[in-house]
Chains A and B, each alone.
Chain A
Amino acid sequence: MGDKITKVSIIISKGGLDGVYPGLILANGARMEGIEANLFFTFFGQDAITKKRMGKIKVATVGNPGMHMASLLGMLPGMSAMATSMMKKTMEKLDIPPVPEYIEMISDAGCKLYACKMTVDMFKLKKEDFCPQVDSIITVGKFYEIAAGGEIIFT
């Protein structure tokens, strides 16, 4: 056996269900293997930890080539809601929790959650706008300090 990964720091930079879930699954999976994990939320990725948005994250049907759907179709009213509800049902079957529950579970699993300071300044957010699982608002420099000695994954 080669070297084992003992620590990961995962950056979630994109919004939307397909932007947020990969990083959450990686972080939770790391903790399940006993790997130390940190999550750093930046740009629209912060929707996943923002109280008023975390329960309403949708999958984009416009400008999302992964949806295999013409953008004109995706523009139809209710399309994004329908795609989101289908995806959520599938995920529930696979035992993948909705975003707010997943954030709680990941935090309970011992993963630390951080919000990016620059995004916070840009969108004029405050610590109170985030769910209680968020440890603190940190700079990029601090992120590197926290991530030291481990792998960094950007999503």
Chain B
Amino acid sequence: MAQKQYGTAIVEVDAEGFMSDFSQWTREIAAAIAKEEGIAELTPVHWKVIDYIQRDFRENGQVPSIRKLNKSGVIGTKELYALFPGGPAKKAAKIAGMKKPEGCV
């Protein structure tokens, strides 16, 4: 298992940099991962998505799909792609400290 350092924190990650132990996640780490993914600053709308992903994961045991994010009224698909350019579902999950989402939709 690989490790990665964000500031003073050291976290467990998989080969693609997804955190493998959510208990190590902090908002500061999220901001650092976001920077790595090309998002300079996490805005309140970013946080709304991240908070929802984490809440939904706690309730259902899986990372919500883009479709669910849209249908639940959290964020429209267009906006989501604009907020997390170049692969929104994976990027948002990575920043939220989730494991890499599997699935084709």
| A interface residue numbers (CB < 8 A to B) | 25, 28-29, 31-34, 94-97, 105, 108-110
Contact = CB atoms under 8 A, between A and B. Distances in A.
A95 B64 CA distance: 10
A25 B105 contact: yes
A110 B81 contact: yes
A34 B85 contact: yes
Given A95-B68, A105-B70, A31 B81 contact: yes
A94 B70 CA distance: 16
Given A25-B105, A95-B105, A97-B67, A32 B77 contact: no
Contacts of B76: 108
Contact of B87 (A25, A33, A96): A33
20 contacts: A25-B104, A25-B105, A28-B105, A29-B104, A29-B105, A32-B66, A32-B88, A32-B90, A34-B87, A94-B105, A96-B105, A97-B105, A105-B66, A105-B77, A108-B70, A108-B77, A108-B78, A109-B66, A109-B77, A109-B78
Which 6 A/B pairs are nearest by Cβ-Cβ distance?
A34-B86, A108-B77, A34-B87, A108-B78, A95-B65, A95-B105
Taking each of A33, A34, A94, which has the highest tally of chain B beta carbons within 10 Å of its own beta carbon?
A34
Contacts of A105: 66-67, 70, 77
B81 A109 contact: yes
Contacts of B98: none
A25 B65 CA distance: 14
Given A109-B66, A110-B78, 13 more contacts: A32-B66, A32-B87, A32-B90, A34-B86, A94-B105, A97-B67, A105-B77, A108-B76, A108-B77, A108-B78, A108-B81, A109-B77, A110-B81
A109 B86 CA distance: 10
Interface residues of B, number: 18
B67 A95 contact: yes
A105 B74 CA distance: 15
A149 B32 CA distance: 34
Contacts of B81: 31, 108-110
Nearest to B103: A95
Interface in B91-105: 103-105
B77 to A, nearest CB: 4
A29 B105 CA distance: 7
A32 B86 CA distance: 7
